Chains A and B, each alone.
Chain A
Amino acid sequence: MENFFTRYRNETVLFGVLFIQIIALATQVRVADTGVNGREVNAGAHAGSSRLIRVWAVSLISPFQKLSVNSGAGVRHLWGNYFALLHVRQENEKLQQQINLMRLEQSRLQQDADQAQRLQALLGFKEQYIDKTIAAQVVGTSGTDLSRVIYIDRGTRDGVEAGMAVITPDGIVGKVSRADKSVSQVLLITDPLSGAGVLLERLRVNGILKGTQSGQPEVINVMADEKIEIGDRLITTGGDRVYPKGLPVGTVINVSPDRERDPFLSIRVKPAVNIGRLEEVLVVTQLAERQGTTENASGPIRAADMLAQRLPSAKKKTEEGSAAAVNPDAPEPPSAKSLAQQAPASPTDLKSIKTAKPKAPEKISESPR
């Protein structure tokens, strides 16, 4: 017997190591549920059974990743603040012009939002909105395109929990799949195991956004008779209880029949966020629900608003009047990071975080409406 093990020592060790790993693998894999059409769903691992080894691996790697990202940011900061300031005056003038245009646009949108809120109040709608976010820096990835996850430098001690939505001002990024003390893992919307409820903005058609192996997400569960066009925009529905309603998701780049689900379409989507170039993200740490009231929707209805509602031809004049009311000498706008930490921020306010130059919409600093 001893002779056998001595002679086949290498093979014995190989089979022993493989056997242990296969048994460990088998204990982690959850038995799959069988879906209505016979397809298996929900296959995957129990999160708890292998948690310790994951924590060890992440704890070992993440300090170096943070150091690397921070030192890279330091170099970029030095470059950006001292060497890359050529033409900044012209750029500043251009941005100032953009700000003025955006103020006009903001004023018009504000009126629309107020009107929508009054109508929602009349109909007794409850609206979900982003109450608190924290900014986080992306410090690492899984390193393989077989598992599309990223790591961020915020964890449970910052209030991050599994299941929270991760977004940027451009759109949704993914959701927190695991939160450790100072690092969290985020499952990207491009991973085959991710999903989100989405709405085609133009047609108001619902679908489910799924990641694919190629990294190009697709929308499924949309009937083949829908007239979807390339370039149609997608937003979140809020129905998945992860992503707040109305956040940008992406645009349609290809529509074809779904070979696996016959009467449905497979809609390829280009994410609104450049997933391959993520540096900073926002974690939605708190969502809140509110019911609109007619009192807090910027006071009583003005005669000009009523006129705009009843006489569309008079709308332009109303907009001009409102635009003139915008103070061009508004104080210096807050930074993007400070905006990100203010609460509450509604989905429509997120664009203002990206630009960060114009004055933030007043509703950002209000208490929940």
Chain B
Amino acid sequence: MEVHRFSILAAILVPVLAIFLQASLPLRLSFFSVFDLPLLVTIFFAVARRNPLAGTLTGCLIGLAQDSLAYQHQPIGLFGISKTVVGYLASSIGVKIDVENPGSRLLMTFGFYLLHRGIYQALRNMARMPLEFNWGHELGAALSNAVLAVGLFMILDRYKQRK
């Protein structure tokens, strides 16, 4: 299986742009808060690099940046830990199965979204800040993110460089 790398510019700008869009677009398009662009970017970089170490660190940094924009009294690390785990698992899966075709990308993102939300929810409970969990909403959001991921990954594929 092919292992890819990215230019430093793409590796920095794409996650920053994802966080920027995630923080800005819901102002005009309120439905956009259903999507989790930073998560999709984490998954994309992890499966493309197929390096668990890089996936772990990418997920950690993107998650912590997302945590920093959340409410003042919400502890930093909730998204960080969730995305660290997702980054690691996504890169580990990328080593073992083909994650290049749209079908597997759809299923993979659907699963990782639910896992991410499950870990986040568990951490909120540990931090004594429980949230309501609506299965219908979460499944809908997972599907929406999976569909968006298929299109987004096709765009981001252009920035891949063969190692």
Query: Are A and B subunits of one complex?
Result: yes
**Interface of chain B, helix or strand or loop or mixed?**
helix
Cross-chain contact A47 with B72 (CB below 8 angstroms): yes
Cross-chain contact A14 with B52 (CB below 8 angstroms): yes
| The one of A32, A53, A278 that contacts B68, using a Cβ cutoff of 8 Å | A53
Cross-chain contact B74 with A144 (CB below 8 angstroms): no
The number of chain B residues touching the other chain, given as a range, is 35 or more
Bound complex: CA A140 to CA B19 (Å): 11
Cross-chain contact B132 with A65 (CB below 8 angstroms): no
Instruction: Tell me if A327 is interfacial: C-beta within 8 Å of chain B.
Output: no
Cross-chain contact B71 with A141 (CB below 8 angstroms): no
**B2-10, B21-29, B102-110, B142-150: which lies at the A interface?**
B21-29
Instruction: Tell me if B30 is interfacial: C-beta within 8 Å of chain A.
Output: yes
The number of chain A residues touching the other chain, given as a range, is 35 or more
Asked, given contacts A25-B127, A54-B68, A58-B69, whether A65 binds B78 with beta carbons under 8 Å apart, the answer is no
Which 5 A-B residue pairings sit nearest by Cβ, starting from the closest?
A57-B68, A143-B22, A276-B30, A43-B128, A45-B75
| Residue from the set B24, B69, B78 with the largest chain A CB neighbour count within 10 Å | B69
Q: Which of B38-76 contact A (CB under 8 A)?
A: 38, 52-53, 56-57, 60, 64-66, 68-76
User: Which chain A residues have a beta carbon within 8 Å of chain B's beta carbons?
Assistant: 9-10, 13-14, 17-18, 21-22, 24-25, 28-29, 32, 40, 43-45, 47, 50, 53-54, 56-58, 60-61, 64-65, 68-69, 72, 138-151, 177-178, 185, 187, 191-193, 212-214, 276-278
Bound complex: CA A64 to CA B33 (Å): 19
**Interface of chain A, helix or strand or loop or mixed?**
mixed
Residues from chain A with Cβ under 8 Å of B60 in the complex = 17, 21
Cross-chain contact B75 with A40 (CB below 8 angstroms): no
Residues from chain A with Cβ under 8 Å of B34 in the complex = 145
Cross-chain contact B66 with A50 (CB below 8 angstroms): no
Chain A residue nearest to B123 in the complex (CB):
A25
Cross-chain contact A144 with B132 (CB below 8 angstroms): no
Cross-chain contact B73 with A177 (CB below 8 angstroms): yes
| Residue from the set A24, A61, A191, A193 with the largest chain B CB neighbour count within 10 Å | A61
A-contact bits for B120-151, CB 8 A (1 contact / 0 none) = 10010001110110100000000000000000
Cross-chain contact A61 with B19 (CB below 8 angstroms): yes
Asked, given contacts A40-B128, A54-B68, whether A143 binds B84 with beta carbons under 8 Å apart, the answer is no
Bound complex: CA A143 to CA B74 (Å): 14
Cross-chain contact A143 with B120 (CB below 8 angstroms): no
